[in-house]
Amino acid sequence: MPAAERAGIGVALLGAGWISRVHLAALQRIGGARLAAVASRTRASAERVTAGQAGAKAFTFDELPQLLGDPSVKLVCVNSPNRLHAEHALAALEAGKDVVVEKPLCLTLDEADSVCSAARRHGRVLGYAENLCFAPLYRRARELLREGAVGRVLWARQVEKHGGPYSPWFFDRAEAGGGALMDMGCHGIEALRFVFDRPAVRAVSARLATTLHSDETDLDDDAEVRLELAGGVTLVSESSWAVTSGMQSALEVHGTEGTLFLDLMGETGLRLAKRDGGVTRPPVDPLLEHGYVGELAHFVAAAGGAPLEEAGEDGRAVLEILLAAYASAGQGGREIALPFRPPAGVTRPVDLWRPATGAV
Amino acid sequence: MPAAERAGIGVALLGAGWISRVHLAALQRIGGARLAAVASRTRASAERVTAGQAGAKAFTFDELPQLLGDPSVKLVCVNSPNRLHAEHALAALEAGKDVVVEKPLCLTLDEADSVCSAARRHGRVLGYAENLCFAPLYRRARELLREGAVGRVLWARQVEKHGGPYSPWFFDRAEAGGGALMDMGCHGIEALRFVFDRPAVRAVSARLATTLHSDETDLDDDAEVRLELAGGVTLVSESSWAVTSGMQSALEVHGTEGTLFLDLMGETGLRLAKRDGGVTRPPVDPLLEHGYVGELAHFVAAAGGAPLEEAGEDGRAVLEILLAAYASAGQGGREIALPFRPPAGVTRPVDLWRPATGAV
Amino acid sequence: MPAAERAGIGVALLGAGWISRVHLAALQRIGGARLAAVASRTRASAERVTAGQAGAKAFTFDELPQLLGDPSVKLVCVNSPNRLHAEHALAALEAGKDVVVEKPLCLTLDEADSVCSAARRHGRVLGYAENLCFAPLYRRARELLREGAVGRVLWARQVEKHGGPYSPWFFDRAEAGGGALMDMGCHGIEALRFVFDRPAVRAVSARLATTLHSDETDLDDDAEVRLELAGGVTLVSESSWAVTSGMQSALEVHGTEGTLFLDLMGETGLRLAKRDGGVTRPPVDPLLEHGYVGELAHFVAAAGGAPLEEAGEDGRAVLEILLAAYASAGQGGREIALPFRPPAGVTRPVDLWRPATGAV
Amino acid sequence: MPAAERAGIGVALLGAGWISRVHLAALQRIGGARLAAVASRTRASAERVTAGQAGAKAFTFDELPQLLGDPSVKLVCVNSPNRLHAEHALAALEAGKDVVVEKPLCLTLDEADSVCSAARRHGRVLGYAENLCFAPLYRRARELLREGAVGRVLWARQVEKHGGPYSPWFFDRAEAGGGALMDMGCHGIEALRFVFDRPAVRAVSARLATTLHSDETDLDDDAEVRLELAGGVTLVSESSWAVTSGMQSALEVHGTEGTLFLDLMGETGLRLAKRDGGVTRPPVDPLLEHGYVGELAHFVAAAGGAPLEEAGEDGRAVLEILLAAYASAGQGGREIALPFRPPAGVTRPVDLWRPATGAV
């Protein structure tokens, strides 16, 4: 998106790790917002994120009051280590900012309660940044489940696993508060709450282990959590840092009329297997996947001055090939050299292949 | 996107068929544009598209001068039957509008030349609406090919097939100018030109047939087109209206170092098979697929007043479950009833499972 | 296989349900054995299995002594309901027969011990019929794991699920002794023991539920069993009668160097995902899959008098097409009508396309 | 299969390359035949195949008369280079042997005619060794097509491709007679004839090219052949030595009611996509895939003295785990240590979980 459009509300990122870089990349894909500030433990790491972002300022966590005093900052994303989530969110809310907190919200229910009540007290937005709730596949799965695609739900499982975290603090008990369950199980639990429309959870049980990373941490690196719903349904969340073959993010929902399988990593996408044995792959977002959204966005941008990528000349080039193809078919498939121009008077390309038969 | 944001440039759609409805749906997904007008053969069909679109006016094709005289219309999408493309595009360009022409550009090279030169003469945008060039999978394929993912390209094929067109005029020689090649081959030829960065085509050959639909039309419903490139590479475009089992849009590119397979309909997505036997599934657009783009767009919209979908209270609910899970694991996996509140003083959830071992 | 070859040892099937019909079909695919007798609760149901099997006799369970007194019966397959397994196996062993017992072996450890010791005492074969141990995919998985394909194993899961049993007695507490765990978990537990080469199991835990079939039975229809191995590895067996979308039989094994996925129902077969991100699909049984085993078996049978399916005339027909194809390519791809015979003197088909260039 | 069973008819292999090694491996998987002799250009290469095969003799091609004079040789497999097929087959037929000729049958129609008539004259079997006709997936595809699974067939394509041949003689014009079309197209053409039950071919056209291997050979390494059937259907055979990413063997058949996809290399197996949008994966050979054939063959062999792999003790071990699992479920899922023996008097495992409810 052209720089000129990167106006919009000012966004500050607290933290300069992997998720802040993801937020910055996402920011550049949407309209209505721009990077205003980044804070980190050190100014140097904050500056690595602001580099090349015109107008974005770098701060240390100690300078948070200055960052929050900037009236151009409207939305603050709390991407710091888990231990600092509550402190950072509270400071931002009290400074009158809208706030987004990266998962997990914080480490204790006391913290959670004070952050939530601060948002209400100050009348500010307090967003909880669970990305899976915005992933097209999970949104489509929720839609299908709402439509009763598998009948009455009997049992479901979400799997969220990979080989281990991006930053050393994830292995640190004080900074992270927990291991793979805290980091990955967070995703699975909220994804289950999301696709099942926030059901009441009656009871919880779990098994944890430290397997692959036992030399590096005493935190859990493998977890199975069971959520028992009021109606007798069990939702299972499996999370792990002990899968060495790459990221897994998957959902299976078994019901009285079939099974929904979701595989975010692309092997099989979304599948709906029904009682009768048929399997369909429901389209997820065809407008987007087939390019129609991008196409129109591109042409609207071009009308606003952005460079044009697909022009009339491309359409002409295609037409020339189509005409040559019809001519070739009309001559037993022989090669037609380009450039090609049909005899004058041919106004319907197909006439180069064969004249109207009048048969139909 | 909330109505308030549907300001932006006025877009007019000429034609009220399937593709105009697709354009309208896409328009509602992007910022910076709004539906201003629709024209069709009859006012009734135009009104079926404008229904519910505040401020959008319906016209017949005969009233095109009035539509084009409206200064709030800035961008005109020519979605009428193929026969009318050139006439409609010329009228819009002469009225000073930016223009997007749906594929195929028009029916003769004379028409194509006059449309392209009119755009240049009037200094207007003339966009060619080939959606596959904006489909994330094809864009990612182009990126991989540019990076040399399959080595030197030896041979490629694009397949674009389904069971037949949406409107009766596609079967009409005068309206459509050709059959499946005109309708579907258009996509394949431009998709090949796109992923291979508009290579020079030396010669073209083709075979056509009328198979499944021979009772309904004498136009081609099955086509194979071969594009011979200067360097000896052959690109094959297969298009058809004679595949009854659903849409196919696929690409395979064979090179000296491996093969790229693209399957837009989701069975296998994008796969890269290398000489050494390994197969990878390159991520297509992880920021989008994992929800990060949608998440940030949502929170920016919420900061602008839109309703919040993922709130601090959701984060609190997840945290309560995490705490109960750690407690359950600490008690041999027994069920912990909700609501749950850990004993006072527990500040690190993992402590509910087991205390620090000091082992690491 | 022709009837004449169905000589070999006499096999008796006790039980006339689904699994006995499977055994009979398998018997007809292998050499060295023939159906000698079937017993069931009623003679009528036994006769439905012996129908068309020359020389096979039908008995009721009450007539078991007569069946076992037939010296032509050498191998007895105990396919009766679980409750009768021990009684039937003991009777057959005491009559000097080799015995195969369908899973589960029996209902109590006392029964199991007496059956096993009877086999040893009488010096007879006592086979345990777990079919997954003979499924090519599971055998290949064992081979790959033995070769260290995933490194040190961290965690594994086997899933064996479908929508419910074939016969009413499976829902009967006295006949079956248990539900989905007894019926399906049996498969999963032995499949895990098999692929991991019968590891020592230190402890077992399980969760059971009655979900989909609670109106029909009070037995378990959904089960999760965890086997804790001495070395800290956990093997999970999930079994169910509550998956309505068709059979699932799958294995995933996570290790320090990657993951092995096995899907018996064909969606993805066998996949090996490695640390480096590559995924391979190890061939399972190429000799068989590519037809070489069947081909040679066919020709050996044909040499023994069976009708020939692929004859020299077929090879000639292919050759004629090859020659016509080379001739067509030599003439710019034009159609060559069959029958076709090249000009005399052409001894190398490719010469019809182009003469030797001497370039190489 | 134990050595003792490797009696049966004597088989001679002419040629000692890849396909003879495949034949030997297949021979060891079936009953009723044994390797009697191998001939090759040099005795050394023949001996590399006979090594370890008790009673098998090695010859040079010059010693063919001696090999053919051995009365224990009943079936001769002609696996020599293409140029020698006719000469070798004729010699064997004249010596009174049954003969199998590896594809292609030979290089000229004169040769083909004389081989076929020799077989008739001598009353011997002349088998044409096209392995795909014996591949379970292709056989199942034929069955489905015969059942009308895709309705009336409109168009079909078989693809047979890999990166190049196993032996240098395949690149030699005189030895091979042609390139990828001769080597790979052979498979595709007969596979198409097979699955469509030997339809009458009206005409043939083809395009050939030398692409990847142009530095090594002037033979074709890429081919497209079109078979026009009497009824208007086109069957396309694509063959190539220019796919560097591994073997492809695939079939797609489009009809009025859907599409059948076959992928021999395992990515997707066999799929049937119907007009209504559902996709099923028809079972190919469930008796074999689920292990029932292997299981029974194993137990029959064990009854004949072969070592037993799945014994009663395995069934006991499974039962012990089942009992422990029921006990664990009855105690809230806690771990039950092995060895485990239930309290005396428990005769139905499920009673360890919960007593009969009498509810059903």
Q: Answer yes or no: do D133 and C319 touch at CB < 8 A.
A: no
Q: Chain B: which residues have CB within 8 Å of chain D?
A: 151, 154-155, 163, 209, 211-212, 222, 232, 234, 242-246, 254-259, 267-268, 273-275, 277, 332-335
| pLDDT score at A186 | 94
pLDDT digits (tens, 9 = 90+) for D264-287: 987 678 999 999 878 888 889 999
Burial C117-126 (b: 16+ CB within 10 A, else e): ebbeebebbb
Closest-CA residue to B100 (of B114, B111, B89): B89
Per-residue confidence (pLDDT) for residue C358, from 0 to 100: 57
| Interval C330-356 mean pLDDT | 93
Please answer yes or no on whether C211 and A259 come within 8 Å at the CB atom.
no
Which residues of D are less than 8 Å from C206 in CB distance? 324-326, 328-329, 333
Among the ranges A351-355, B350-354, C155-159, which has the highest mean pLDDT value?
C155-159
Average pLDDT (A109-133) is: 96
What ipTM does the predicted assembly reach? 0.91
Q: Which residues of C touch B333 (CB under 8 A)?
A: 205
Cβ–Cβ below 8 Å for B348 and A208:
no
Q: Looking at the complex, report in whole angstroms how far the Cα of residue B289 sits from the nearest Cα belonging to chain C.
A: 19
Partners of residue B281 in chain C, C-beta under 8 Å: 279
Question: What confidence score (pLDDT) does residue C51 get?
Answer: 96
Confidence band of D204 (pLDDT split at 50, 70, 90): very high
Going by C-beta distance under 8 Å and a sequence separation of 6 or more, which residues neighbour residue D128? Answer: C310, C311, C312, C313, C314, C315, C318, D100, D101, D103, D105, D190
Q: How many residues does chain A have?
A: 360
Chain A residues inside the 8 Å CB shell of C258: 244-245
CB contact under 8 A, B198 and A317: yes
Question: What Cα–Cα distance (Å) separates residue A356 from each residue in A177, A333, A360, B181, D112?
Answer: 76, 19, 9, 16, 46
From chain D, pick out residues whose CB is under 8 angstroms from the CB of A277.
280
pLDDT of B2 > 60? The answer is no
Chain B residues whose CB is inside 8 A of the D245 CB are 254, 258-259, 273-275
By C-alpha distance, the chain A residue nearest C274 is: A245
Whether the CB-CB separation of C281 and C266 falls below 8 Å is answered with no
Subunit partners of chain B (3 or more CB pairs within 8 A): A, C, D
Most D-contacting residue of A225, A279, A328, A331 (CB-CB within 10 A), to test interface: A279
Q: Which of D50, D48, D47, D18 is nearest to D36 (CA)?
A: D50
Question: C-alpha angle with apex A18: A15 to A20, nearest 5 degrees?
Answer: 45
β-pair type (C269-274, C258-263): antiparallel
Place of tokens 């030599």: C330
Q: What is the token pair recorded at C307?
A: 């009708």
Residue closest to C53 by CA, chosen among C84, C16, C92: C16
Contact state of D281 with A279 under an 8 Å Cβ cutoff: yes
pLDDT at A8: 84
Does the beta-carbon distance from D279 to A281 stay under 8 Å?
yes
* Minimal Cβ distance to A154: which of C212, C274, C334: C212
Q: Is B197 exposed, middle or buried (0-12, 13-18, 19+ CB in 10 A)?
A: exposed
Min distance A259 CA to chain C CA atoms (Å):
6
Contact B278 C279 (CB under 8 A): yes
pLDDT at residue A259 in the model:
97
Mutation target for D interface from C133, C134, C281, C308: give the one with most D CBs within 10 A: C134
Q: How many angstroms separate the CA of residue C97 from the nearest CA in chain A? A: 41
Q: What residues in A contact D281, CB-CB < 8 Å?
A: 279
Contacts D278 to A, Cβ<8 Å: 274, 276, 278-280
Answer whether C348 sits within 8 Å of D174, measured CB to CB: yes
Min Cα distance D179 → chain B (Å) is 17
Q: Is the CA virtual torsion C146, C150, C156, C158 positive or negative? A: negative
Q: What is the pLDDT of residue C231?
A: 85
Residue D358: pLDDT band with limits 50, 70, 90: low
pLDDT at C1 over 60: no
* Tens digit of each residue's pLDDT (9 = 90 or more) over D137-176: 999 999 999 999 999 999 999 999 999 998 899 999 999 9
Give the mean model confidence (pLDDT) for residues C340-345.
Answer: 94
Nearest to D115 by CA among D85, D135, D75, D76: D85
What DSSP designation does A277 have? S
Both tokens of residue D58? 């090695």
- Give which of D350, D332, A236 is closest to C220, Cα–Cα: D350
List chains adjacent to chain D, taking adjacency as at least 3 C-beta pairs closer than 8 Å.
A, B, C
| Closest residue in C to A261 (Cα–Cα) | C245
Average pLDDT over residues C37-52: 97
User: Could you tell me which of A16, A76, A23, A17 has the C-alpha nearest to residue A43?
Assistant: A16
Q: In chain C, which residues have their Cβ closer than 8 Å to the Cβ of A226?
A: 207
- Smallest Cβ–Cβ distance between C280 and the set B205, B279, B333 belongs to B279
Do the Cβ atoms of C279 and B277 come within 8 Å? no
User: What residues in D contact B209, CB-CB < 8 Å?
Assistant: 234
Q: What is the pLDDT of residues B174-211, one digit of tens each?
A: 999 999 999 999 999 999 999 999 999 999 999 999 99
Is D281:D270 a contact under the CB 8 Å cutoff?
yes
Q: How many angstroms separate the CA of residue C294 from the nearest CA in chain B?
A: 27
The predicted pLDDT at position A358 comes to 57
CB contact under 8 A, D127 and C311: yes
pLDDT tens-digit map of A162-175: 999 988 999 999 99
Beta-carbon contacts below 8 Å between A and D: 18
- Res A50 pLDDT > 90: yes
Chains that touch A (3 or more CB pairs under 8 A): B, C, D
- Quick one: which of D176, D172, D181 has its CA closest to D242? D181
Question: How much is the mean pLDDT over chain B?
Answer: 93
> Residue B358 above 70 pLDDT?
no
Note whether A242 and C254 are within 8 A (CB).
yes
* Model confidence pLDDT, tens digit, residues A298-309: 999 999 999 999
CB < 8 Å to A245, chain C: 254, 258-259, 273-275
How close is the nearest chain D Cα to the Cα of B329, in Å? Answer: 12
Q: Which SS3 state, helix, strand or coil, does residue A135 take?
A: coil
Distance (Å, whole) CA C165 – CA C40: 19
Closest by CA to C310, choosing from D286, A20, D193, is D193
Contacts of B257 (CB under 8 A, 6+ apart): B148, B149, B150, B151, B152, B274, B275, D244
Give the phi and the psi of residue B298 in degrees, each rounded to 5: -65, -45
C279 — pLDDT class (breaks 50, 70, 90) = confident
Band (pLDDT 50/70/90 cuts) for residue A251 is: very high
Query: Taking 60 as the threshold, does the pLDDT of residue B110 lie above it?
Result: yes
Q: Are A260 and B101 in contact (CB under 8 A)?
A: no
Q: Name chain C contacts of B328, Cβ cutoff 8 Å.
A: none
Residue C139 has pLDDT above 60, yes or no: yes
Q: How many residues does chain C have?
A: 360
Contact B278 C281 (CB under 8 A): no
Mean of per-residue pLDDT scores for chain A: 93
For residue D354, which residues of chain C lie inside 8 Å, CB to CB? Answer: 218
pLDDT score for B3: 39
What is the pLDDT, as a whole number, of residue D4?
38
Q: In angstroms, what separates the C-alpha of B277 from chain C's closest C-alpha? A: 7
pLDDT at D356: 80
CB contact under 8 A, C265 and D281: yes
> Closest Cα partner for D75 from D100, D104, D50, D52?
D100
CA-to-CA distance for A48 and D189, rounded, in angstroms? Answer: 61
Among residues B294, B256, B262, the alpha carbon closest in space to that of B281 is found at: B262
Helices and strands (H and E) in chain D: how many: 12, 15
